[in-house]
Amino acid sequence: MAPKKIKSNDRHIKNLEAIVGDANSILFHKEDLLAYDSDGFTLHRHLPKAVVFPKDTQEVAKLVKYCSENKLPFLARGAGTGLSGGAIPLNEEVIISLVRMKKLLSVDLENRRAVVQPGFINLKLTNSISDKGYYYAPDPSSQYCCTIGGNVAENAGGAHCLKYGVTTNHILGLEVVLPNGEIIEMGENGIPDSPGYDLLGLLTGSEGTLGIVTKITVRILKNPEAKQTVLAYFDKVEDGSQAVSDIISAGIVPAALEMMDKTAIEGVEAAAFPVGHPSDIEAVLLIEVDGISAGIEEQIEQILEVCKYRNVLEVKVAQDELERGRWWANRKTGFGAMGAISPDYLVQDGVIPRSKLPEVLNKINRISEEYGLRIANIFHAGDGNLHPLVLFDARIPGESEKALAAGSACLKACADVGGTITGEHGVGIEKIEEMRFVFSDEEIIAQTDIREVFNPHNLLNAGKLFPMPGRCAEIKRDLKEKEAASIS
Amino acid sequence: MAPKKIKSNDRHIKNLEAIVGDANSILFHKEDLLAYDSDGFTLHRHLPKAVVFPKDTQEVAKLVKYCSENKLPFLARGAGTGLSGGAIPLNEEVIISLVRMKKLLSVDLENRRAVVQPGFINLKLTNSISDKGYYYAPDPSSQYCCTIGGNVAENAGGAHCLKYGVTTNHILGLEVVLPNGEIIEMGENGIPDSPGYDLLGLLTGSEGTLGIVTKITVRILKNPEAKQTVLAYFDKVEDGSQAVSDIISAGIVPAALEMMDKTAIEGVEAAAFPVGHPSDIEAVLLIEVDGISAGIEEQIEQILEVCKYRNVLEVKVAQDELERGRWWANRKTGFGAMGAISPDYLVQDGVIPRSKLPEVLNKINRISEEYGLRIANIFHAGDGNLHPLVLFDARIPGESEKALAAGSACLKACADVGGTITGEHGVGIEKIEEMRFVFSDEEIIAQTDIREVFNPHNLLNAGKLFPMPGRCAEIKRDLKEKEAASIS
């Protein structure tokens, strides 16, 4: 790291530094900025102008106001674990890092809510309240290091979101700095269905394009009385998929219902947390049910019955919390595990109606053959949220592009059966063009018009989420002209 | 009703009639319009210009386009059961009634969704799928006659929304006619967390100010395996309130957790569905748990224990579906039942943190004394959604105004403890000024700016939901001037 005494001659850097108060709260040397040139989506890299580390909401508001008044592009960044490039500074942005705003501000067990700063780590919340019997439900696989602010931006999901819902279902209130520097509150202290428009829902999942979240009120849940976890091995993907449908049809809502295919199993068994999955199977299901003890046994019986009916090869129930933990570590580190069997991988994130699982998995196999790249599948089967992992070697010229194209083809396959192009990883810059698979130009314009209300000069995280300008911009101009003509 | 052969000389009426195709699809005679001068909120009355009954989305789009091009104010109306005046034509609107668009378009049991037209009656959905073991969860007390389109507009709640969530949690997709006549789709066929901004959430609960919903995809649920229902009587409101908190703290999430106070009990026992509640008690709780049979008994045991600990006078479990049905009819017709003990009543709809129940109920008692009007309380205690029913006699000069003021004071009491001014009935025209209890001018502007994007000429349902113009308009002008100055 460059010695901090070297000062910048850039007027803006000096002014930004004055806002955050000291030289340790800003980075502007190229060698320091390199760590911020991408996020979890590493196929694009751009250097920011600077990275600033505000300590509180007031500093964020001042930074935003300064950037806005001086027409400096800016964006917010949490832990940088996002998988679609939402935090990549495409326009030499000033990055407002929220990692120093990492306090747990309050916990209100009686009304089941907690207030955190955006840089607070997801898993720390559960760890802070588990001794009192409570937890925070959304559990992205990166939860040990990702921030709740980032989770709000991406509307993050996780294995247990099948039963409990994604992030937006657990956000009760937000404090937001708007792109003009104004601070507003959304949501009424954990009150459901507050009056007026649902700004809370609008901001959640807006991928950092409408404002910067500086305080978050979340719902916390009471720990379920009991949990049981099942592993089931199948020698046909169709049987595994059918078991997924049958379990849901039986009226069971598992806390989690995960699937991995043969290639994925090869990866997780070669990586840090092998659990001894057999190597000659085509699919494994990881099924968890939770709730009141008395009801659990009955559900497990039903699940075992369904698996048998669908020709399961082997099925076992976790004997204790230790075994359950090992199974989950094996699953949750699954993406990274692909590093053990491939130099590089690209994770995709499509969603389909559950009933289309076998059809789309077959299609993904054909895409794999067509592009000559292996594709592993690790996914939230219960809610039809696929994660095709395209394995490739970036050192081979052209293979990165081929991986991107194969990933895009997988998303097209999802959209074609009435699904969509992201379940929980966001659009960012990665899936901008794929937005056209699911939205008409009119539908995109309805959304970018809303962005303009919040972010009229498009200084905040520009170039993300929507395919603009282009055909949309043209149509928009046409519409305005038509309207002007009809008025005059 | 006026004979239909009498034609209107109004050019607009003729053109609107031409769009809907026949004279039976439009009303414009004063005596026909009287039925449309208010909705469930009867303290304001205004006549519409006309009422049209389109048959399909295309007709709605044509009507909207015509109104928009000719600067005719318009609004959509379902069954007219709304309690906050959202469907009252303040500006001599053309009312677009959706009651003829009442088809159940499709049911997809495998993927747990159904598609309905906006005029489809809420309860009919459950009745149409109950033989296959499914139901639609949101159950406003008016469900036997209210439309799902109206439920979307108001983000309706109901007794069972404690466990299952309000309307917005069950809407998977919408087809919407925008105020310019454009038709757009929102939501991806029941796929959770679709990309882009959450327009689905934005439209739901927007009280008919952003667009007209013409098709709705809803989530349907599998019937719970078992249900048990409990009635518990208390001679102190505090004990009943504390029992509510204790049940939730015990980790039980009842399907419903309702409370009525002494005055409310007097009303329901004097009305159509008495069940023999004792007359000398201060509070009754109606508690329902559902789920897997094996778990139900255990929860009922815990609930009985809590009630005993909180000095319950009497507690009983429904012996069969018939008894359960009678208890629910008694509760669900509770608002109307006030007609048995008072010439008029005004129902209010505040929400508070559950822990503030005793404090706010005391405050409502004091408001009752202060205004010299009886106030009954029938409410969703589990989620802190109060329904103070202010009893009054509209024939006594000044008493309507006093009732409105007492209702407003109840909402202020809710806002003052960190709650809000509507849980499920909407703002409409009734609570416009009360919006200031919970939103700053900046927060209101952030919302009206969004309305402008959708509804730039404010022809659609103007004068509802937000307190404009006034102080907000001034601030907005100031902000724009400031910005213009900073740019130049």
CATH number at residue A90: 3.30.43.10
pLDDT category at A190 given cuts 50, 70, 90 is: low
In this model, does residue B192 exceed pLDDT 80? no
Alpha-carbon distance A312 to nearest alpha carbon in chain B (angstroms): 22
Looking at the structure, tell me whether residues A125 and A29 fall in a common domain. Answer: no
User: Which sign, positive or negative, has the C-alpha torsion B345, B348, B354, B360?
Assistant: negative
Looking at the structure, tell me whether residues B336 and B366 fall in a common domain. Answer: no
The answer to the question of residue A55 being in a domain is yes
Output the pLDDT for position A473: 53
Q: Where does a domain end: A341, A358, A378?
A: A341
Mean pLDDT value of segment A42-67: 96
Residues A351, B191: C-beta atoms closer than 8 Å: yes
pLDDT in tens, A246-299: 998 888 889 999 999 999 999 999 998 999 999 999 999 999 999 888 789 889
Residues A184, B450: C-beta atoms closer than 8 Å: no
Q: Provide DSSP, B359-388.
A: HHHHHHHHHHHHHT--EEEEEBGGGTEE-E
How many domains does one find in chain B? 5
Looking at the structure, tell me whether residues A216 and A245 fall in a common domain. Answer: no
User: Which sign, positive or negative, has the C-alpha torsion B140, B145, B148, B150?
Assistant: negative
Q: Where does a domain end: A324, A341, A358?
A: A341
**CA dist., res. A420 & res. A438, Å (int):** 6
Q: Which site among A193, A206, A352, A435 would you substitute to test the B interface, given the most B Cβ atoms closer than 10 Å to its Cβ?
A: A193
Looking at the structure, tell me whether residues A24 and A110 fall in a common domain. Answer: no
Output the pLDDT for position A483: 60
Task: For chain A, say whether B481 makes contact (Cβ under 8 Å).
Answer: no
Q: Where does a domain end: B193, B222, B251?
A: B222
The answer to the question of residue A38 being in a domain is yes
In this model, does residue A2 exceed pLDDT 60? no
* Displacement of CA A235 from its chain's centroid (Å): 31
**Bond preceding residue A274 cis, omega within 30 of 0:** no
Output the pLDDT for position A237: 92
Looking at the structure, tell me whether residues A327 and A236 fall in a common domain. Answer: yes
pLDDT in tens, B342-397: 999 999 999 998 889 989 999 999 999 999 999 999 999 998 999 999 999 999 99
- Residue B250 CB: number of other CB atoms within 10 A? 13
Q: What mean pLDDT value characterizes chain A?
A: 91
Looking at the structure, tell me whether residues A337 and A379 fall in a common domain. Answer: no
Return the residue matching tokens 């939860």: A143
Radius of gyration of chain B (CA): 23
Looking at the structure, tell me whether residues A229 and A318 fall in a common domain. Answer: yes
| Percentage of chain A modeled with pLDDT above 70 | 93
Looking at the structure, tell me whether residues A207 and A109 fall in a common domain. Answer: yes
Looking at the structure, tell me whether residues A229 and A303 fall in a common domain. Answer: yes
The answer to the question of residue B463 being in a domain is yes
The answer to the question of residue B425 being in a domain is yes
The answer to the question of residue B281 being in a domain is yes
**CA dist., res. B144 & res. B130, Å (int):** 15
Q: Which site among B69, B177, B191 would you substitute to test the A interface, given the most A Cβ atoms closer than 10 Å to its Cβ?
A: B191
Please identify among residues 209-228 of chain B the ones whose CB lies closer than 8 Å to any CB of chain A: 210, 222-223, 225
CATH number at residue A257: 3.30.70.2190
The answer to the question of residue B6 being in a domain is no
Residues B418, A295: C-beta atoms closer than 8 Å: no
pLDDT category at A472 given cuts 50, 70, 90 is: very low
**CA dist., res. A439 & res. A475, Å (int):** 14
Q: Who among A110, A196, A299 is closest to B245 (CB)?
A: A110
The answer to the question of residue B112 being in a domain is yes
The answer to the question of residue B1 being in a domain is no
pLDDT category at A469 given cuts 50, 70, 90 is: very low
Q: Provide DSSP, A370-402.
A: HHT--EEEEEEGGGTEE-EEEEE-TTSTTHHHH
pLDDT category at B309 given cuts 50, 70, 90 is: very high
Task: For chain A, say whether B160 makes contact (Cβ under 8 Å).
Answer: no
Domain that holds residue A277: 224-341
Looking at the structure, tell me whether residues A375 and A398 fall in a common domain. Answer: yes
**CA dist., res. A227 & res. A446, Å (int):** 44
Identify the burial level of B366 via C-beta atoms within 10 angstroms of its C-beta, where 0-12 means exposed, 13-18 middle and 19 or more buried. exposed
Task: For chain B, say whether A291 makes contact (Cβ under 8 Å).
Answer: yes
Mean pLDDT value of segment A17-42: 94
With both helix axes pointing from N to C terminus, report the angle between A293-309 and B293-309 in degrees, rounded to the nearest 10.
Answer: 170
pLDDT category at B187 given cuts 50, 70, 90 is: confident
**CA dist., res. B270 & res. B358, Å (int):** 26
Give the SS3 label for residue A77.
strand
pLDDT in tens, A412-447: 999 999 899 998 899 999 999 999 998 888 889 889
In this model, does residue B193 exceed pLDDT 70? no
Looking at the structure, tell me whether residues A315 and A284 fall in a common domain. Answer: yes
Looking at the structure, tell me whether residues B420 and B455 fall in a common domain. Answer: no
Which residue type does A447 have? Q
CATH number at residue B211: 3.30.465.10
Q: Do the beta carbons of residue A210 and residue A260 sit within 8 Å? A: no
Give the SS3 label for residue B210.
coil
Q: What mean pLDDT value characterizes chain B?
A: 91
A99: phi then psi, degrees, rounded to nearest 5: -70, -20
Alpha-carbon distance A469 to nearest alpha carbon in chain B (angstroms): 16
